[in-house]
A and B are shown apart, each in its own frame.
Chain A
Amino acid sequence: MRGRALSDENEKLENLPLDDWHRGKGARMVGFAGYHMPIQYNKDQGGGIVAEHDWTRAQASLFDVSHMGQLMLTGENAAAELEKLLPGAIASLKPGRVRYSLLLNEEGGVLDDLMVTNATPWIEPVLDDEGAEIEAGHWGEPAYYIVVNGATKHDDIAFLREHLADDVTLNHMEDHALIALQGPKASNALGRVMRGVPDGLVFMQSTLYDFGEWPLRITRAGYTGEDGFEISVPAEFVQPLADRLCAEIEVRPAGLGARDSLRLEAGLPLYGHDLTAEIDPVSADLTFALSKKRREEGGYHGHAQIAAALKDGPASFRVGLVLEGRLPAREGAEVFAGDERIGTVTSGGFSPTLGHPIAMAYVDKAHADVGIELAVMVRNKRLPAKVTAMPFVPHNYYRGN
């Protein structure tokens, strides 16, 4: 028996701050994005990819995503400078709000997908001894907290340094870990540990929170399709924080395997597979990340190419496929309409929630409509597949009442 997935065993891997913690919980570690990372935890303690996947959909799971790049951009012109590289509205993003966006090359290809938070600090008013205001409260220097993919972070940083004006400061927060608490019970668990915190946030909002002496940034977002939180924490405190959260009855650790099957069910693209520098945001079905006003105004990398793709429709399109049977189609599998090759699977697997295989594929525009019957070739077998709206499993975000 031998796995078909290739892993580069010669790659020099680094340890994340929670490395010992993962190993102590019986994690199986694999190389990912240059780090030793847990793919799944010990079966005897409720681990395994499907068990962790199901637990996340029903309860809450703790994922270590410290491999991801955490950046802080500061400067009066930070938003304007970012808007030259991202197609989203950053200047109008209010403090504490989060936006999904794309880092674009000059041709409009996607270099990375990322989350931007307006992290501009509120400066409290200065009072004299009688309590009278000497200086009014006000917003401090504009700051943007950006989370980028682990495998691309060093290239992203180099690209940002090259393209951002010199008066914007970029700080790579390498001394910070990042953990994600995800699942329908995440809010219950977090609220018990940090009273009131979940109540102050809806999906795509972010706040600073001092948990005792640990300064945290808590963002209500994630990569599973479930309600949940991402918590940025100085690396020295991440282990006790992970222990504190996992002490809650709803919370168990989950690894990269479950993270991948969860995000696939949620229809969320994985950079390097479903998104690359050769793919534009329109083909990737990410037009929601192109802020409406900026679609006309432009002023960002690749705007001409993107505007043309919006007007004429792209040549191919990222779609969801539902397969019959149980045999999964993996990345690279060819997609056919009749005898004609019309696309390629970019990620695929077995959906634990739905009980059948699902996939994302790029297919020619003419075959991209929901309901169209196609076929995927796996080891010379023709598997019937149907174009399906994504997400495959409905999102369960908390958007307030």
Chain B
Amino acid sequence: MARYFTEEHEWIDVEGDTATVGITDYAQEQLGDIVFVELPEVGATVDKGKDAAVVESVKAASDVYAPISGEVVETNASLDDDPSLVNSSPEDDGWFFKLTIADKGQLDGLMDQAAYKSFCDGL
């Protein structure tokens, strides 16, 4: 399984033809206490770089972008009851949605773990 990162602080795990998307630890730290996550509908199509979800912290609302294009096949129901999972386990239990991979070529421009770390260090 390969994990990629965007400059907008989403992560994406690729497993065969599907991928899981969430936001990074750096992102949740920046957002602060998360009180609500608005997830896309199952069956919806999301486009690379376009709005896919909204995270509401105590402070403000933030858009989460789709790292690649695809169809949403599952969303994380646990976030409805406990949105703070995004704070406590951003890169594991706090995942947002799973989608089919429309075009594997879209993964090429994304960062790996090491590249993302140095990207964050430079912020």
- Give me the interface of A with B, judged by CB distance under 8 Å: 1-5, 39-40, 43, 48-50, 53, 257, 261, 326-328, 330, 349-350, 352, 357, 379
Q: Is there contact, CB below 8 Å, between A350 and B36? A: yes
User: Given that A40-B32, A50-B33 are contacting pairs, would A4 and B9 also be in contact in the complex, using a CB cutoff of 8 Å?
Assistant: no
Q: Which residue of B lies closest to A257 (CB)?
A: B59
**Which of B12-20, B62-70, B104-112 contacts its partner?**
B62-70
User: Given that A2-B65, A49-B32 are contacting pairs, would A350 and B58 also be in contact in the complex, using a CB cutoff of 8 Å?
Assistant: yes
B22 CB to closest chain A CB (Å) equals 10
21 residue pairs A–B, Cβ–Cβ below 8 Å: A1-B9, A1-B27, A1-B65, A3-B60, A3-B61, A3-B62, A4-B61, A4-B63, A39-B59, A49-B33, A49-B57, A50-B58, A257-B59, A326-B36, A326-B56, A327-B56, A328-B35, A328-B61, A330-B60, A349-B58, A350-B56
User: Given that A327-B56, A328-B56 are contacting pairs, would A1 and B10 also be in contact in the complex, using a CB cutoff of 8 Å?
Assistant: yes
- Our pick among A50, A326, A352, A379 for the contact of B83 (Cβ within 8 Å) is A326
Q: Is there contact, CB below 8 Å, between A330 and B35? A: no
B41 proximal to A (CB < 8 A): no
B74 proximal to A (CB < 8 A): no
Bound state CA distance, A220 and B10, in angstroms? 46
Contacts A5-B61, A49-B59 supplied; 6 other A-B pairs, CB < 8 Å: A1-B62, A2-B65, A5-B59, A327-B38, A330-B61, A379-B54
- Our pick among B8, B33, B35 for the contact of A1 (Cβ within 8 Å) is B8
B23 proximal to A (CB < 8 A): yes
B55 proximal to A (CB < 8 A): yes
Q: Which residues of B contact A352 (CB under 8 A)?
A: 33, 58
- Give me the interface of B with A, judged by CB distance under 8 Å: 8-10, 23, 27, 29, 31-33, 35-36, 38, 54-65, 83
B85 CB to closest chain A CB (Å) equals 13
Q: Which residues of B contact A261 (CB under 8 A)?
A: 58
Q: Which residues of A contact B83 (CB under 8 A)?
A: 326
Bound state CA distance, A3 and B61, in angstroms? 6
Bound state CA distance, A268 and B112, in angstroms? 47
B62 CB to closest chain A CB (Å) equals 5
Task: Tell me whether chain A's interface is mostly helix, strand or loop, or mixed.
Answer: mixed
B86 CB to closest chain A CB (Å) equals 11
Bound state CA distance, A5 and B61, in angstroms? 7
Q: Which residues of A contact B10 (CB under 8 A)?
A: 1
Bound state CA distance, A3 and B54, in angstroms? 10
User: Given that A49-B32, A326-B83, A328-B35 are contacting pairs, would A1 and B59 also be in contact in the complex, using a CB cutoff of 8 Å?
Assistant: no
- Our pick among A4, A39, A48, A257 for the contact of B62 (Cβ within 8 Å) is A4
Q: Which residues of B contact A53 (CB under 8 A)?
A: 58
Bound state CA distance, A67 and B69, in angstroms? 46
Bound state CA distance, A40 and B31, in angstroms? 11
Q: Is there contact, CB below 8 Å, between A48 and B61? A: no
Q: Is there contact, CB below 8 Å, between B59 and A2? A: no
Q: Is there contact, CB below 8 Å, between B63 and A1? A: yes
Q: Is there contact, CB below 8 Å, between B61 and A2? A: no
A390 CB to closest chain B CB (Å) equals 19
Q: Is there contact, CB below 8 Å, between B58 and A4? A: no
B5 CB to closest chain A CB (Å) equals 11
A304 CB to closest chain B CB (Å) equals 40
Bound state CA distance, A88 and B26, in angstroms? 49
Q: Is there contact, CB below 8 Å, between B60 and A1? A: no
Bound state CA distance, A2 and B61, in angstroms? 9
Centre residue among B23, B57, B63 by max chain A CB count within 10 A = B57
Q: Which residues of A contact B62 (CB under 8 A)?
A: 1-4
Q: Is there contact, CB below 8 Å, between A326 and B35? A: yes
Q: Which residue of B lies closest to A4 (CB)?
A: B61
User: Given that A327-B36, A350-B35, A379-B38 are contacting pairs, would A2 and B58 also be in contact in the complex, using a CB cutoff of 8 Å?
Assistant: no
Q: Is there contact, CB below 8 Å, between A257 and B58? A: yes
Q: Is there contact, CB below 8 Å, between B60 and A48? A: no
